């Protein structure tokens, strides 16, 4: 039966107290839509209500009957409206509420029936019932707001209607099906029709996130919440986290009850101040930025314009800065994704635009990890050594004195790879790889943008419009250039910062600028690829394969044990083998001077070289006689022509700076009878140019031959003999040559 049809059968209450209860029964029986089980509940309720109604003062009875007729005109149905109305009256009686509260409640319902909608009235009656009977402000299948109180007053706001005034401290608990939290010791007003609670004061803690309630909490000022969600947002709260600081932070509180398993990211606090300075958040670690507490996670946070910053000191001096949008703190330390990191060492720096940053509080160790995301594969930029470093991880301890470039720490038998490139490194192969199948190289696209807009900061959106690609494609292009070391890409603000290297690379490609091909590849097992000593700035590289200083001139280095020591601006020391043109040598304490593009070779044990065959200059053969104990200098090319773009005559050029020797104590020569201490050829300093193209007959070493007293000292230059040894031929005079100190005479060639 429709409401209109039963409305015709039951039009009004007579307002006779003696018949009112019976009329209620007639009213609910007129609702043909009510199920039998509900009819039985209604019948039991009215039986209980009869005693309550009959005990009311006369005026209250009149008020009830008058309101009942107003409800009927408003088309309030037996269920839920009248049922809740009756049950609330019973609850007022059974919970010993005062007549004043009852009368105020009644006034509120009168205001609501006249000023609100049918739905608003039903909500008001239901909320009243929940409050009086269950100490609940709002309740559905998925949201509950309960209150623990010591009393309240019901009042009327002429505009907003009835409200419950909690003037003494209450605990207000909000919950979803599987989650809850409480505002402790708060006060406020519950506006029944609006389903809004306006509170002031109180405290919210983080105990549901596993944090001690006396250590982490927020103190509220004024706040408003809609009770239809198990959530609060409050401004101007004061936040305390005694784990990290003692003073209170001002900011915003957000909380949401969630039924997701393991989702403990609430409550959340966000500080207002974005430049909060916390000294010694950990020992020797300062923090600058905003703060947010999200569940059990305490996070430093910033913006794309002003990222949050960790300032790490070593012996009181700035050692490292780590910038990121988020810095998650924990009792163990910090783990910040997509973090821009700079190590400050003396007047120089080692910089990376974005990777995973970790700080272990107990070990006082910094770990910077390439986590294979975003631009983490970009190189570290080392200003002192003028190189780009590609490595999986960098580690540094505050109580140590090194930066360690290596793989991510793992169980033993780990093979670690790294590479080290000069910041003037260029190869055609790398240029082609960057260009790929694109019609226009990404390098030229970036240059075109810079030329057009006269700026080196490139927002992704603007770059996408310029090249006619979507933003995702444009961002990928910029990130790849960052990984190749041409730009710094700040992913948190989606902006590329163009480095001078991109213009140098274009000039190198068009042969308008010099470059080098200095690149070191390292492979180690269970050890670091490189270690930087922050005291003397020596960068020790390990596991280095044979590498080239000049492809054009065939100048290559094979360091002993794969070790070299990098000095300032790409100069380095090493022990090992050197090949230059047709010369091979092994030396100790060798030094490559990048500026001069030269090798200082103070201790060459042995030098061998090849010459063209006499009968076929297209073929070469090794000279049988090695030169030994040399002090040399090798000029690889003109210092302004490291790429050997131009042909500069004379290079590479080898100079012997001091006397050197040829010895004849090899077993193949008279069974080694000629001891080197007395039988040798001492060479004068010499210079050989064009080490790759010299002619065989141009080889001529001046010096003196000492034969252990067999002959007088002979000053005859060494030349390449027919058997491709170094020697000389002299004609003895007709009188012969004195031999063995005058004991004999030698006649021959």
| Domain CATH code at residue 495 | 1.10.10.10
Q: How confident is the model at residue 526 (pLDDT cuts 50, 70, 90)?
A: confident
Tell me the CATH number at 216: 2.60.450
CB neighbours of 117 closer than 8 A, spacing ≥ 6? none
Task: Reply yes or no on whether the pLDDT at 5 is more than 70.
Answer: no
**Total of domains in the chain:** 5
> How many residues comprise the chain?
749
Task: Reply yes or no on whether the pLDDT at 2 is more than 60.
Answer: no
Q: Are 698 and 583 members of one domain?
A: yes
Q: Give percent of the chain above pLDDT 90.
A: 67
Tell me the C-alpha distance between 352 and 392, whole Å.
12
Q: Are 130 and 150 members of one domain?
A: no
Q: How confident is the model at residue 373 (pLDDT cuts 50, 70, 90)?
A: confident
And the tokens for 546? 């044979």
**Alpha-carbon distances of 64 from 35, 51, 100, rounded to whole Å:** 26, 14, 15
Q: Are 636 and 602 members of one domain?
A: yes
Q: How confident is the model at residue 123 (pLDDT cuts 50, 70, 90)?
A: confident
CB 146 within 8 A of CB 106: no
- Is 596 inside a domain boundary? yes
Produce one character per residue of 630-661: b if its CB has 16 or more CB atoms within 10 Å, e if not. bbbbbbbbeeebbbbbeeeeebbbbbbeeebb
Domain stops at, among 115, 134, 153:
134
Domain stops at, among 76, 111, 134:
134
Question: For the whole model, what pTM was predicted?
Answer: 0.80
> What are the beta bridge partners of residue 450?
none
Average pLDDT over residues 166-179: 94
- Predicted pLDDT at 7: 41
Q: Are 327 and 232 members of one domain?
A: no
- Predicted pLDDT at 3: 39
Q: What is the mean pLDDT of the chain?
A: 91
DSSP state at residue 731: P
Domain stops at, among 391, 406, 421:
421
Q: How confident is the model at residue 701 (pLDDT cuts 50, 70, 90)?
A: very high
Task: Reply yes or no on whether the pLDDT at 286 is more than 60.
Answer: yes
Average pLDDT over residues 126-154: 90
Q: How confident is the model at residue 96 (pLDDT cuts 50, 70, 90)?
A: confident
Q: Are 173 and 152 members of one domain?
A: yes
- Which stretch of 74-88, 187-201, 579-593, 620-634 has the lowest confidence by average pLDDT? 74-88
**Alpha-carbon distances of 698 from 309, 501, 611, 652, 716, rounded to whole Å:** 65, 43, 10, 16, 15
Q: Are 392 and 284 members of one domain?
A: yes
Q: Are 126 and 181 members of one domain?
A: no
Tell me the C-alpha distance between 668 and 340, whole Å.
64
- Is 650 inside a domain boundary? yes
Average pLDDT over residues 520-530: 94
Q: Are 393 and 458 members of one domain?
A: no
Average pLDDT over residues 530-544: 97
Q: How confident is the model at residue 749 (pLDDT cuts 50, 70, 90)?
A: low
Tell me the C-alpha distance between 515 and 427, whole Å.
9
Average pLDDT over residues 506-522: 95
Task: Reply yes or no on whether the pLDDT at 4 is more than 50.
Answer: no
Tell me the C-alpha distance between 107 and 279, whole Å.
58
- Is 516 inside a domain boundary? no
Q: Are 376 and 474 members of one domain?
A: no
Q: Parallel, antiparallel, or unpaired for β 627-635 and 620-622?
A: unpaired
- Is 532 inside a domain boundary? no
Q: Are 738 and 614 members of one domain?
A: yes
Q: Parallel, antiparallel, or unpaired for β 679-683 and 660-663?
A: antiparallel
Q: Give percent of the chain above pLDDT 70.
A: 96
Q: Are 414 and 434 members of one domain?
A: no
Average pLDDT over residues 103-108: 88
Average pLDDT over residues 633-654: 96
- Which stretch of 224-233, 474-483, 545-554, 660-669 has the lowest confidence by average pLDDT? 660-669
- Is 539 inside a domain boundary? no
Q: Are 445 and 313 members of one domain?
A: no
- Is 517 inside a domain boundary? no
Average pLDDT over residues 715-736: 86
- Is 530 inside a domain boundary? no
Average pLDDT over residues 395-400: 95
**Alpha-carbon distances of 214 from 211, 218, 363, 530, rounded to whole Å:** 9, 10, 28, 47
Q: Parallel, antiparallel, or unpaired for β 308-314 and 547-550?
A: unpaired
pLDDT 10s digits, 235-276: 999 999 998 888 899 999 999 998 886 668 899 999 998 878
Average pLDDT over residues 665-686: 86
Q: Using the structure block, give the residue that is written with the tokens 């104990």.
A: 629
Average pLDDT over residues 351-368: 95
DSSP states of 235-260: EEEEEEETTT-SS-EEEEEEEE---S
- Predicted pLDDT at 738: 75
Question: Domain range holding 147?
Answer: 140-272
- Predicted pLDDT at 85: 93
Q: How confident is the model at residue 104 (pLDDT cuts 50, 70, 90)?
A: confident
pLDDT 10s digits, 296-323: 888 998 888 889 999 999 999 999 999 9
| Range of 33-47, 63-77, 348-362 with top mean pLDDT | 348-362
CB 235 within 8 A of CB 225: no
Average pLDDT over residues 508-512: 93
Sign of CA dihedral 281, 286, 288, 294: negative
Q: How confident is the model at residue 731 (pLDDT cuts 50, 70, 90)?
A: confident
Sign of CA dihedral 611, 614, 619, 624: negative
- Predicted pLDDT at 507: 94
- Is 527 inside a domain boundary? no
pLDDT 10s digits, 411-456: 766 889 999 999 999 999 999 999 888 889 999 999 999 999 999 9
Q: How confident is the model at residue 223 (pLDDT cuts 50, 70, 90)?
A: very high
């Amino acid at each position: 039966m429709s409401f209109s049809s039963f409305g015709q059968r039951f039009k009004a209450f007579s307002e006779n107290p003696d018949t009112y209860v019976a009329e209620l029964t007639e009213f609910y029986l007129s609702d043909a839509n009510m199920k039998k089980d509900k009819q039985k509940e209604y019948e039991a309720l009215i039986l209980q209500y009869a005693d309550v109604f009959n005990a009311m003062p006369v005026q209250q009875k009149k008020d009830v009957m008058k309101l009942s007729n107003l409800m009927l005109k408003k088309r309030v149905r037996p269920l839920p409206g009248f049922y809740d109305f009756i049950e609330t009256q019973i609850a007022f009686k059974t919970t010993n509420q005062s007549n004043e509260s009852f009368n105020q409640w009644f006034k509120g319902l009168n205001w609501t029936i006249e000023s609100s909608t049918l739905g608003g009235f039903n909500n008001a009656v239901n909320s009243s019932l929940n409050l009086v009977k269950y100490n609940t402000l709002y309740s559905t299948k998925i949201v509950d707001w309960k209150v623990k109180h010591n009393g309240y007053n019901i009042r009327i706001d002429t505009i907003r209607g009835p409200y419950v005034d909690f003037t003494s401290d209450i605990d207000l608990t909000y919950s979803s099906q599987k989650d809850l939290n409480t505002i402790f010791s708060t006060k406020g007003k519950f506006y029944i029709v609006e389903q809004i609670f306006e509170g002031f004061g109180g405290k919210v803690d983080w105990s549901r996130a596993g944090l001690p309630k006396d250590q982490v909490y927020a103190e509220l000022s004024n706040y408003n919440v809609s009770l239809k969600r198990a959530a609060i947002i409050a401004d101007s709260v004061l936040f305390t986290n005694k784990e990290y600081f003692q003073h209170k932070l001002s900011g915003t509180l957000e909380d949401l009850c969630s039924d997701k398993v393991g989702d403990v990211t609430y409550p959340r606090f966000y500080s207002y101040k974005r430049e909060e300075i916390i000294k010694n958040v950990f020992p020797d670690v300062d923090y600058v930025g905003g703060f947010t507490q999200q569940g059990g996670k305490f996070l430093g946070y910033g913006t794309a314009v002003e990222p949050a910053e960790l300032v790490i000191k070593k012996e009181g001096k700035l050692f490292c800065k780590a910038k990121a949008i988020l810095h998650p703190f924990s009792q163990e330390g910090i783990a910040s994704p997509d973090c821009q990191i700079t190590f400050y060492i003396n007047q120089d720096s080692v910089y990376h635009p974005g990777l995973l940053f970790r700080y272990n509080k107990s070990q006082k160790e910094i770990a910077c990890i390439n986590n294979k995301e975003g631009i983490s594969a970009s190189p570290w930029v080392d200003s002192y050594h003028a190189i780009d470093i590609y490595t999986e991880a960098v580690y540094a301890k505050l109580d140590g004195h090194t930066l360690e470039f290596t793989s991510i720490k793992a169980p033993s038998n780990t093979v670690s790879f790294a590479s080290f490139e000069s910041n003037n490194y260029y190869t055609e192969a790398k240029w082609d790889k960057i260009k790929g199948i694109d019609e226009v190289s990404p390098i030229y696209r970036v240059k075109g943008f810079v030329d057009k807009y006269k700026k080196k900061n490139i927002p992704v959106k603007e770059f996408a419009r310029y090249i006619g690609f979507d933003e995702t494609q444009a961002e990928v292009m910029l990130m790849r250039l960052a990984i190749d070391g041409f730009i710094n890409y700040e992913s948190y603000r989606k902006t590329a910062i163009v480095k001078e290297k991109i213009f140098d690379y274009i000039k190198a490609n068009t042969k308008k600028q010099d470059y080098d091909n200095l690149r070191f590849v390292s492979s180690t097992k269970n050890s670091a690829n490189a270690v930087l000593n922050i005291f003397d700035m020596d960068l020790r590289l390990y596991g280095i394969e044979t590498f080239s200083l000049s492809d054009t001139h065939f100048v290559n280095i094979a360091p002993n044990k794969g070790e070299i020591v990098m000095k300032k601006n790409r100069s380095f020391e090493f022990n090992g083998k050197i090949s230059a043109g047709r010369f091979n040598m092994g030396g100790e304490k060798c030094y490559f001077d990048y500026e001069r593009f030269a090798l200082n070779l103070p201790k060459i044990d042995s030098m061998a070289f090849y010459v063209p065959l006499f009968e076929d200059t297209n073929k070469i053969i090794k000279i049988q006689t090695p030169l030994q104990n040399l002090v040399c200098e090798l000029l690889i090319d003109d210092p302004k022509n490291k790429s050997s773009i131009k042909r500069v005559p004379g290079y590479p050029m080898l100079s012997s700076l001091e006397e050197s020797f040829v010895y004849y104590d090899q077993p193949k020569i008279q069974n080694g009878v000629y001891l080197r201490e007395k039988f040798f050829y001492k060479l004068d300093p010499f210079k050989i140019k064009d080490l790759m193209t010299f002619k065989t007959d141009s080889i001529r070493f001046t010096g003196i031959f000492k034969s252990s007293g067999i002959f007088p000292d002979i000053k005859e230059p060494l030349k390449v003999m027919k058997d491709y040894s170094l020697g000389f031929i002299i004609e003895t005079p007709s009188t012969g040559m004195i031999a063995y100190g005058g004991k004999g005479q030698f006649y021959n060639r």
